[in-house]
């Protein structure tokens, strides 16, 4: 009656045997994947060496910026970031020139990319003699260790074999300490790369701050650590306890002064402010945020509105007749558009882009319009297109009419017959700079993710210092954000760029690649014709160049 069912055990044994074969297949596929990854990386390294040799020969031995064209082309072809493309090229060169045993194991499929990269990074500063002594043992360890553990193993081997080189490598690494913040979905990741002693001291301070609340605090440990980190940045000495107990022993934080309110720049389209839609807002330096969060931030910060206007994509690109003319409007007009009336019914959706029309002045916290726009949750029409759909449409148009690659305004005048204020001055004023940076969000080169705030402003059609009126003008429709790396690449003539309507960029390399990049603005399908009121598009006429003193530092 209580005998175990042999059939069940036999079935389980059969499942295990079948899964064992699948695990063997999984291992085999991983080896094949590793081998192909090795070939890809080695080819990237070969292309880099070829470009490097060619550039050095052309520039008479000057190696600055040599080989950068190959890195940019790898990034474009593989659809990866500039950083990842640099990693591929650097590792490929190192495998060919310095790491023969690692290269052989990688090509055989025994090592994956992560471990090959770890070996390359940890051994970068070693002398050829020390590397030849240690590489065999490093590769044997790599066959059995995960990347993080492998990194620790390599550092230990280096310390044992050559303490002086280990100390020198540490000093070089300490010079690369950095702090950065980047968006991770709706959150932000704040990263600090510190020295070993700084890291331990900082962690101890954060933990001590988290322990300033009582044991009945309602927050979890990780949330407490985050709040402690922010409190330290604000110079506070304790956290307020959330236990809400009248006899809480941790009451020291109750009398702390209010924190300084930050200045945030919120980018939002006119229709959302009017309550006609609930399109995403953009937080400068982060990316898209929901409208409710934008209002919450504005209520607790000093804020500046960057107003955008919806344009039909086909009209703006000149694919249909009687399109909307591109305009660089008076930046002061943005404040006049803050809505006061009730919202109307939701608008229908079409494919479109937001173009930047004006920048407002700073407002104190609390001055933000609240609207109950489109809260029913019902979607009107089809879902809005993403980057893939939008770029595919533009690429089809370029293929049908190759002359579009020249840009909407090849003279760099934005369709204007007369230059507006500041157009004939190389240095853009503060309002123009802010609108270009906010429109682009990131470096406009394909695959680059350097934030616009850290980029230089580039004239798409070059500015002429000898004859400013004849060259490209300093206006929003002739400026783009480029990181220094890609700015230098364009300046050297290694790649051509042109701007279509709505800030769409077309990039063409010497190798024949054509890539479209979109501005970092919002993509929805709200009808352009339904946007009211329209921002004024008055253009000032000036016979002589104007000068500005706005505090922005060159280069542009």
Q: Give residue-wise pLDDT tens across range 329-338.
A: 333 344 443 4
Same domain, 38 and 147: yes
Contacts of 80 (CB under 8 A, 6+ apart): 74, 88, 447
CA distance 190 to 201: 17
Ranking 162-166, 197-201, 267-271, 358-362 by mean pLDDT, the lowest is: 358-362
Instruction: Report DSSP state, residue 442.
Output: B
Q: What is the pLDDT of residues 337-346, one digit of tens each?
A: 344 444 444 4
Residue 168 and residue 171: Cα distance in Å, rounded? 5
Which of 29-33, 73-77, 430-434 has the highest average model confidence (pLDDT)?
29-33
The span from the first CA to the last CA of the chain, in angstroms, equals: 86
Gap between the Cα atoms of 419 and 426, Å rounded: 13
Is 218 in the same domain as 275?
A: no
Closest-CA residue to 356 (of 306, 281, 414): 306
Torsion angle of C-alpha atoms 17, 19, 22, 23, degrees rounded to 10:
-100
Half-sphere exposure of 393 toward its Cβ, with a 13 Å CA cutoff?
Answer: 16
192 and 292, same domain (yes or no)? no
pLDDT of 319 strictly over 70:
no
Is residue 554 assigned to a domain?
Answer: no
More confident residue, 379 or 509: 509
Nearest to residue 355, comparing CAs of 439, 292, 291, 424? 439
pLDDT band at 187 (very low <50, low <70, confident <90, very high): confident
Total count of domains within the chain: 4
Of 255, 272, 289, the position where a domain reaches its end is 255
pLDDT given for residue 484 in this prediction: 92
Tell me the backbone φ, ψ of residue 437, rounded to 5 degrees: -65, -40
* Structural domain ending residue among the three candidates 147, 176, 205: 176
For the segment 2-25, what is each residue's pLDDT rounded down to a tens digit? 455 556 666 677 788 888 899 899
CA 386 to chain centre: 17
* pLDDT category of residue 121 using cuts at 50, 70 and 90: very high
* pLDDT at residue 538, as a whole number: 38
Mean pLDDT, residues 389-395: 81
Give the number of other Cβ atoms within 10 Å of residue 286's Cβ.
17
Same domain, 433 and 471: yes
The model's pLDDT over 395-405, given as tens digits with 9 standing for 90+, comes to: 888 888 888 88
In a domain, 384, yes or no: no
Together in a domain, 280 and 417: no
pLDDT of residue 167: 85
Q: What angle do CA 465, 463, 511 make, to 5 degrees?
A: 130
Residue 117: per-residue pLDDT: 96
Which of 255, 290, 322 is the endpoint of a domain?
255
Over the stretch 295-307, which tens digit does the pLDDT of each residue have?
666 665 555 555 5
The answer to whether residues 146 and 41 belong to one domain is yes
The single-letter DSSP state of residue 98 is: T
pTM as predicted = 0.66
pLDDT greater at residue 191 or residue 374: 191
Say yes or no: 155 and 24 in one domain. Answer: yes
Do 518 and 397 fall within a single domain? Answer: yes
User: Are residues 364 and 468 both part of a single domain?
Assistant: no
How much is the pLDDT for 362?
A: 54
- Whether residue 90 lies inside any domain: the answer is yes
- What integer pLDDT is reported at residue 210 of this predicted model? 92
**What is the spatial distance between Cα 245 and Cα 249, in angstroms, rounded to a whole number?**
9
Q: Is residue 544 assigned to a domain?
A: no
In a domain, 56, yes or no: yes
- Checking if the pLDDT of 417 tops 80, the result is yes
Has residue 425 got a pLDDT over 90? yes
- b/e burial code for range 217-245 (CB count within 10 A of at least 16 → b): bebeeeebbebbbebbeeebebbbbbbee
With helix as H, strand as E and coil as C, how does 498-554 read? Answer: EECHHHCEEEEECCCCEEEECCCCCCCCECHHHCCCCCCCCCCCCCCCCCCCCCCCC
Taking only the tens place, the pLDDT of each residue in 210-235 is: 998 998 899 999 999 999 999 999 88
| Comparison of pLDDT for 252 and 234, the residue scoring more | 234
**What pLDDT does residue 42 have?**
97
Model pLDDT, residue 357: 55
Q: Which residue has the tokens 């000149």?
A: 318
211 and 243, same domain (yes or no): yes
Angle CA 205–211–215, to nearest 5:
170
Same domain assignment for residues 32 and 159: yes
- What band does 253 get if pLDDT is binned at 50, 70 and 90? low
pLDDT at 545 over 50: no
- Do the domain assignments include residue 409? yes
Q: pLDDT category, 490, cuts 50, 70, 90?
A: very high
In sequence order, the 6+-apart residues with CB closer than 8 A to the CB of 116 are 38, 41, 91, 95, 102, 106
Q: Are residues 232 and 155 in the same domain?
A: no
What is the domain extent for residue 433?
390-530
pLDDT tens digits, one per residue of 52-84: 888 777 766 556 667 788 999 999 899 888 889
The answer as to whether 385 is a domain residue is no
| Between 394 and 542, the higher pLDDT residue | 394
pLDDT of residue 315: 52
pLDDT at 523 over 50: no
Kindly report, residue by residue over 369-388, the tens digit of the pLDDT. Answer: 454 444 444 444 455 556 67
Of 384 and 85, the one with more pLDDT: 85
Residue 383 lies inside a defined structural domain of this protein: no
The string of DSSP letters for 231-286 reads: HHHTT-SSPPP-S--TT-S--GGGGPPPPPPPEEEEEEEHHHHTTS--PPEEETTT
């Amino acid at each position: 009656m209580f005998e175990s069912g042999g059939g069940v055990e036999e079935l389980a044994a059969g499942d295990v045997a079948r899964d064992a074969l699948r695990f063997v297949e999984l291992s085999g596929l991983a080896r094949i994947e590793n081998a192909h990854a090795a070939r890809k990386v080695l080819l990237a390294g070969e292309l880099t060496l070829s470009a490097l040799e060619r550039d050095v020969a052309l520039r008479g031995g000057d190696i600055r910026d040599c080989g950068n064209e190959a890195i940019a082309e790898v990034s474009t072809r593989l659809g990866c970031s500039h950083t990842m493309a640099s990693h591929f090229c650097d590792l490929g060169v190192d495998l060919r020139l310095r790491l023969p045993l690692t290269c052989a194991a990688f090509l055989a499929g025994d090592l994956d990319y992560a471990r090959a990269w770890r070996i390359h990074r940890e051994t970068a500063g070693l002398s050829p003699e020390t590397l030849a002594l240690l590489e065999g043992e490093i590769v044997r360890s790599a066959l059995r260790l995960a990347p993080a553990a492998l990194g620790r193993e390599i550092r230990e081997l280096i310390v044992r074999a050559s303490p002086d080189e280990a100390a020198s490598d540490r000093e070089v690494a300490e010079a690369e300490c950095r702090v950065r913040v980047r968006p991770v979905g709706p959150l932000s990741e704040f990263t600090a790369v510190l020295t070993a002693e700084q890291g331990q001291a900082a962690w101890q301070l954060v933990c001590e701050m988290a322990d300033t609340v009582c044991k009945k605090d309602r927050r979890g440990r990780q949330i407490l650590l985050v709040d402690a980190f922010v409190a330290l940045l604000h110079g506070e000495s304790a956290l307020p306890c959330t236990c809400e107990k009248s006899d809480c022993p941790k009451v020291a934080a109750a009398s702390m002064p209010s924190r300084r309110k930050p200045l945030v720049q919120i980018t939002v389209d006119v229709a959302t402010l009017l309550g006609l839609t609930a399109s995403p807002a953009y937080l400068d330096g982060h990316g898209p945020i929901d409208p409710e969060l934008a209002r919450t931030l504005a209520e607790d910060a000093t804020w500046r509105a960057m107003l955008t206007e919806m344009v039909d994509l086909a009209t703006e690109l000149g694919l249909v007749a009687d399109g909307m003319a591109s305009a660089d409007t008076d930046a002061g007009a943005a404040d006049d558009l803050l809505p006061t009336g009730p919202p109307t019914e939701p608008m229908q959706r079409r494919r479109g882009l937001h173009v930047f029309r004006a920048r407002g002045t700073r407002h104190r916290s609390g001055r933000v319009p609240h609207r109950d726009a489109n809260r029913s949750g019902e979607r009107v029409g089809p879902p809005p297109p993403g980057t893939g759909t939008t770029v595919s449409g533009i690429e089809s148009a370029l293929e049908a009419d190759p002359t579009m690659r020249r840009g909407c305004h090849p003279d760099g005048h934005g369709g204007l017959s007369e230059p507006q204020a500041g157009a004939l001055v190389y240095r853009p004023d503060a309002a123009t700079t802010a609108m270009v940076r906010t429109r682009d969000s990131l470096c406009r080169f394909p695959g680059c993710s350097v934030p616009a705030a850290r980029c230089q402003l580039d004239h798409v059609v070059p500015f002429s210092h000898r004859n400013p009126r004849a060259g490209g003008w300093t206006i929003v429709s002739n400026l783009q954000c480029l990181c220094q790396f890609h700015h230098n690449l364009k300046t050297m003539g290694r790649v051509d760029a042109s701007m279509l309507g709505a800030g769409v960029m077309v990039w063409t390399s010497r190798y024949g690649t054509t890539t479209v990049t979109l501005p970092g603005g919002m993509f929805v399908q709200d009808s352009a014709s339904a946007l009211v009121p329209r921002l004024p598009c008055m253009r000032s006429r000036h016979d002589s160049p104007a000068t500005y003193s706005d505090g922005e530092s060159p280069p542009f």
